[in-house]
Structure 1
Amino acid sequence: MAFHFGRMIAAWRMGAAIMALASMACAEPQHGIAMYGDPALPPDFVSLPYANPVAPKGGRIVTSEVGGFDSLNPFIRKGSVSWQLRYFVGESLMARSLDEPFTLYGLLAESVETDPDRSWVEFTLRPEARFSDGSPVTVEDVIWSFETLGTIGHPRYLGFWSRVDHIAQTGERRVRLTFNQPDRELALLAGLRPILKKAQWDGVDFAESTLDVVPITSAPYVIDDFEAGRFIALRRNPDYWGVNVPFQQGLHNFDEVRIEFFGDETAAFEAFKTLEVTTNREFNVARWDGQYDFPAVRNGDVVLSVLGHERPSGMTGFVMNTRRAQFADWRVREALIHAFNFEFINEAMTGGAQPRITSYWSNSPLGMGHGPATGRVAAFLEPFAADLVPGTLEGYSLPVGDGTERNRAGTAAALDLMQQAGWTVQNGVLRDSAGTPFSFEILLEQGSSENQAIIDIYVQALGRIGITPRVALADGAQYKQRIDGYDFDMTYYRVGLSLSPGNEQFNYFGSAAADQPGGRNVMGVQSAAVDAMITRLLTSESQDDFVAAVQALDRILTAGRYVIPIYQWNISRIAHARQLHFPQDLPLFGDWPGWQPDVWWYEE
């Protein structure tokens, strides 16, 4: 399985030079657009390098999700929606290659045009683009989609729209967006916005739709059948308009994609063992090593595939809500990290086989150094030095326990930090000077058995420093409602990060998103330094400045001690029915949205 990390690094190093040359050229329509430099594929490319353009069509793939759903509209805040659905019903003007850090190629749009400063971007629609009902995709649909998603859509779309000065039709099939601030990524983000059929929503409250409206899509699949909370079946549209688009060659090969819903992880795994579900991602190496010896594996009906990738670790763990008074002090957050006893938990859960996440961009060139900040990173952080948490400039690494259950050194460090923050153990209970106990609730979603097992160990460790947290379980709908309203103290957290971080970082970590209901800034961080680093990475005109800005951002977030990190997955473990196949030339991003089921196929 081949990777292309060297090509990516070479492209990054050439970025500044290419941008300088590009700035001397006049804007003209292109087949693709890259964040830095030019797209890797030429205008006459036949297919993506990691796709099989002669893959057979047919068969089906069945995936599983824990929980349920009460909406088929993945573009609004209301309701609980399958996380996979927006990748099936949201076709965009351009599509992202998983083999390049951030490059888009034409999909609904046949070309893209922008000025050297990327103060505007213009798309030309393909004349053959159609919705599943046969009606053409028009500029009117594009404008309506941008305006609707940007005003009453899901919060992930609001930040982009606030940066659009105006949108206008400039030709029969041409639409231009003009931006109100410098931000080189905006031209690319515009290409990724889903385009919906305006006429379908005439007289319908878009923001309140649930199961009453099945979205009409221009994408290769349409929702064929569903039963609330049980399954969603998507059928490949035999009249899909884009069968000849180069980007789509070798993609969307299954006749049916079916999503089955289960009450918990155990039920989902049992369904996979009987091949009621035909593919399963496994995140627990101990379970992979110990529980994948069932009959279907032994007789060859199930194949175990281990796949590499070269993307950042992102952050996975248990997040502390800094909107809560007890988590406002970084020393308290650091104490709770010391008490977590990762080495013992990792041994119990994975046999010690999983490495720990060490920062938000660990496992990548964008990850921070753990020693003192130097060079551009130090220069970018220096104006905020007075407000930065200790360790940001000096260097910070997660504490390492001795692997024993009692974790004496970690427990002692936690107690010392708590004492510095004004909390001491009094009659076996951690209290402040007024005698108020330190207490908090850990919110988990029902069915998350692995997280519950980790928290059970953690609760025992917390008892050694006089803390007895409450553990609350909520069903999928209640859990989402509480997370959207930031009604929690501590909960499970996962954010996936890429090699080309951009405007989405404002949604994840920006001050403006901290109190936005349904937003992604779950920890509630509000930091001028964070906002400045995000702005800097968006406006960097050299790759060196971009990398330094991300590394500086990584330092602020990691040293901020907002999350108790657990293990990372530098490989993907996928068990699947033997009839399911994928190309052996893996993309840079590996197993990532856009790879399964997109480039997979069914073959006996």
Structure 2
Amino acid sequence: MYGQPALPPDFVSLPYANPDAPKGGRIVFGESGGFDSLNPFIINGIAPAGLSAHTVETLLGRSYDEPFTLYGLLAESVVTDEARSFVEFTLREGARFSDGSPVTVEDVIWSFEILGTQGQPRYAAAWGKIGGVEQTGPRSVKFTFNTVDRELPLILGLRPILKKAQWEGKDFTRSTLEAPIGSGPYVVAEFEPGRFVTYRKNPDWWGAELPFNRGQHNLDEIRYDYFGDGGVVFEAFKAGEITSWRETNPVKWDQQYDFPAVAAGDVVKSVIPHSRPSGIEGFVFNTRRPLFADWRVREALIAAFNFELVNRTLNAGIPPRIQSYFSNSPLGMVPGAPAEGRVAELLEPFKAELLPGALEGYALPVGDGTEANRAAIRRASGLLEEAGWTVEEGVLKNAEGTPFAFEILITNGADDIINAATIYVEGLKRLGIAARVVTVDSAQYKERTTNYDFDMTHYIRSLSLSPGNEQTLYWGAAGVTEPGTRNWMGMNSPAAEAMIATMLAAKGPDEFIAAVQALDRVLTTGRYVVPIWYSDVSRIAHRKELKYPERLPLYGDWPGFQPEVWWYED
């Protein structure tokens, strides 16, 4: 995205891959919930984990040892100008789909258009910025842009490439159990909707010897088994049915891994550090609901969330709290500090619309860790009163006499989140608020969140060291009414959209960092989410035969790490 790639043109493999890794073996993951579709590129249906990542390739591939750098995959070369007003890709001559047919320019153009017009909303924004498409050679295609966006050549390089002929005469938007024909290392071998899916290594995979792929995709088989909830998955792991398990609870990691396979050394506990932003996780307000339209109400409910008690109860106080969307990185704002320099300049034109704290400084309320949490509850009560809510006979009501009541929607099996929400609900009773936790299965959860049919729900957005176009999908105003975006909170902020535009047009790291720090301030002071905790490490328990390189990527345990650079060794 900025400067030169870290690797030379003649690199042997990615720095965190082992080019001498043995081939073969299998890995079995466990998932809670289910799936009913094999098309992961549309809104309809729920696709199984790993489908796109393992079976479909892109023009360029990402190195997770750099903030945002791509190397040739399906494409052997990339051409653009200083302004990045266009990009031209030339396909590798030997690139093949799993059925043996060549990947063509026609497939590339069709894939971009079908995804941009009929695929998930995340594809539409980039397609709308393409002003022209032309085939410039037998294996070359040029895209010209109608918008200044220096990230676009990279975004297009990461678009999935599908086989056009497979979809002729078919409705791309319909959920289907026909697997897409891709050019990736694996194909869908067996599956049973809602129960399991197995991906098997294609012995004729065209890209096995590319430097980018050396040391990657070493396993012969990748399987995902589905269970009713996370607790059942963990029991399946203990029983040996699952061979790798990510533990998100540090207390369980310390106290519940004394089962026989660990004691015998058959299961290994690995801790994987990373240097990526915290992202945001917590309970998101649906501001489309009048109940949460006032920022003072949202601030009150953030203050009433007794993080110190919740974290101590569930996590022994080990993981730190998320302070802002890009905390734990140079892209994050400094909690409590005023905006300065270029950050202040970028925010100044929006001073009238910004919420308190964006310019002068903001930090999350801190509780005292007691069940009463009196100071925080007093502050929350004062904010609610300012917003027109008063307590009558122990019930918080507005001027019309309507009680303050709402639901927290959570997926079945998300035990830690359910427990956190339950403690939260008890704390809210001190304010006269009647909140209740509602759990649903994964299909209902997807349907309701796609259509923003919730008051509050569990929300998580992982963020990278090089945020870009996806930020519009996360926070853009179109998501207020358009279903299927990531803007679950329903925010409509010209300031946020201006910061994203500045970020995308930045030609150097200083301007880019300032724009992201300014965006971080807008998001955090918007009070859209009650933040919980994040982990600066990943905890993975796995069978001893499953190995990974000593040299870890910058992003740590992230897409592209497990199972991509892991291998099986007796």
TM-score range, shorter chain: over 0.9
After superposition, give the CA deviation of every residue in 1:407-462 in whole Å (9 maximum; x if it has no partner).
11111111011001000111100001121111111111111111111111111001
Q: How does 1:40-51 map to 2 (within 5 A)?
A: 40-51=6-17
> Is 1:580 matched with 2:549?
no
> Is 1:131 matched with 2:104?
no
Shift of 1:356: 0.3
Amino acid at match of 2:552: L
Which of 355, 358, 370 in structure 2 is aligned with 1:392? Answer: 358
Q: How does 1:280-359 map to 2 (within 5 A)?
A: 280-359=245-324
**Residue number in structure 1 paired with 2:152:** 186
**Residue number in structure 2 paired with 1:104:** 70
**Residue number in structure 1 paired with 2:414:** 448
After superposition, give the CA deviation of every residue in 1:170-196 in whole Å (9 maximum; x if it has no partner).
100001111111110001001000000
> Is 1:539 matched with 2:505?
yes
Q: Distance in 1 between matches of 2:279 and 2:453?
A: 24
**Residue number in structure 2 paired with 1:251:** 216
Contact 2:56 2:181 in 1 (8 A): no
Moved over 6 A (4+): none
Q: Distance in 2 between matches of 1:420 and 1:394?
A: 21
**Residue number in structure 2 paired with 1:435:** 401
Q: Distance in 2 between matches of 1:594 and 1:300?
A: 27
> CA 1:258–1:83 in 2, change beyond 3 Å: closer, same or farther?
closer
Contact 1:232 1:260 in 2 (8 A): yes
Amino acid at match of 1:236: K
**Residue number in structure 2 paired with 1:4:** none
Q: Distance in 1 between matches of 2:486 and 2:66?
A: 25
Contact 1:506 1:513 in 2 (8 A): no
Amino acid at match of 1:525: M
Shift of 1:290: 1.0
Amino acid at match of 2:11: F
Contact 1:302 1:576 in 2 (8 A): yes
> Is 1:141 matched with 2:107?
yes
After superposition, give the CA deviation of every residue in 1:247-272 in whole Å (9 maximum; x if it has no partner).
00000000000001110011000000
> Is 1:493 matched with 2:459?
yes
Shift of 1:463: 0.5
Amino acid at match of 1:324: R
> Is 1:235 matched with 2:200?
yes
After superposition, give the CA deviation of every residue in 1:524-547 in whole Å (9 maximum; x if it has no partner).
110000000000000012211110
Shift of 1:513: 2.7
Q: Distance in 1 between matches of 2:397 and 2:55?
A: 52
After superposition, give the CA deviation of every residue in 1:279-336 in whole Å (9 maximum; x if it has no partner).
0111111111111111111110100001110000000101000111011111000000
Amino acid at match of 2:283: F
**Residue number in structure 1 paired with 2:333:** 368
Residue identity over aligned pairs, in percent, reads 62
> Is 1:94 matched with 2:60?
yes
Contact 2:280 2:531 in 1 (8 A): yes
Shift of 1:81: 1.4
Contact 1:69 1:79 in 2 (8 A): yes
Q: Distance in 2 between matches of 1:167 and 1:298?
A: 60
Shift of 1:77: 0.8
Shift of 1:205: 1.1
- Secondary structure (helix, strand or coil) at the match of 1:332 reads helix
Shift of 1:382: 0.4
Which of 122, 144, 154 in structure 1 is aligned with 2:88? Answer: 122
**Residue number in structure 2 paired with 1:568:** 534
Amino acid at match of 1:177: F
- Secondary structure (helix, strand or coil) at the match of 1:206 reads coil
After superposition, give the CA deviation of every residue in 1:479-510 in whole Å (9 maximum; x if it has no partner).
10000000001000000000000000000011
**Residue number in structure 1 paired with 2:478:** 512
Q: Distance in 1 between matches of 2:349 and 2:334?
A: 19
Q: Distance in 1 between matches of 2:462 and 2:48?
A: 17
**Residue number in structure 1 paired with 2:36:** 70
- Secondary structure (helix, strand or coil) at the match of 2:284 reads strand
**Residue number in structure 2 paired with 1:170:** 136
Q: Distance in 2 between matches of 1:586 and 1:45?
A: 17
> Is 1:203 matched with 2:160?
no
Shift of 1:474: 1.2
Contact 1:119 1:178 in 2 (8 A): yes
Contact 1:97 1:105 in 2 (8 A): yes
Q: Distance in 1 between matches of 2:56 and 2:150?
A: 24
After superposition, give the CA deviation of every residue in 1:137-174 in whole Å (9 maximum; x if it has no partner).
00010011001000001111111111111222110000
**Residue number in structure 1 paired with 2:19:** 53
**Residue number in structure 1 paired with 2:243:** 278
Q: Distance in 2 between matches of 1:83 and 1:585?
A: 26
Q: Distance in 2 between matches of 1:416 and 1:244?
A: 65
**Residue number in structure 1 paired with 2:179:** 214
TM-score, reference length from structure 2: 0.99
After superposition, give the CA deviation of every residue in 1:332-352 in whole Å (9 maximum; x if it has no partner).
000001111000000000001
**How many aligned positions are there?**
569
Contact 1:308 1:572 in 2 (8 A): yes
Contact 2:59 2:75 in 1 (8 A): yes
Amino acid at match of 2:434: T
TM-score, reference length from structure 1: 0.93
**Residue number in structure 1 paired with 2:370:** 404
**Residue number in structure 2 paired with 1:461:** 427
Amino acid at match of 1:314: G
Q: Distance in 2 between matches of 1:545 and 1:512?
A: 26
Shift of 1:82: 2.2
- Secondary structure (helix, strand or coil) at the match of 2:173 reads helix
Shift of 1:470: 2.8
Shift of 1:203: 1.2
Name structure 1 gaps, 5 residues minimum: 1-34
RMSD: 0.8
Q: Distance in 1 between matches of 2:40 and 2:183?
A: 15
Contact 1:304 1:575 in 2 (8 A): yes
Q: Distance in 2 between matches of 1:517 and 1:569?
A: 30
Amino acid at match of 1:398: L
Amino acid at match of 1:547: I
After superposition, give the CA deviation of every residue in 1:205-236 in whole Å (9 maximum; x if it has no partner).
1110321x121110000000000100000000
Shift of 1:90: 2.4
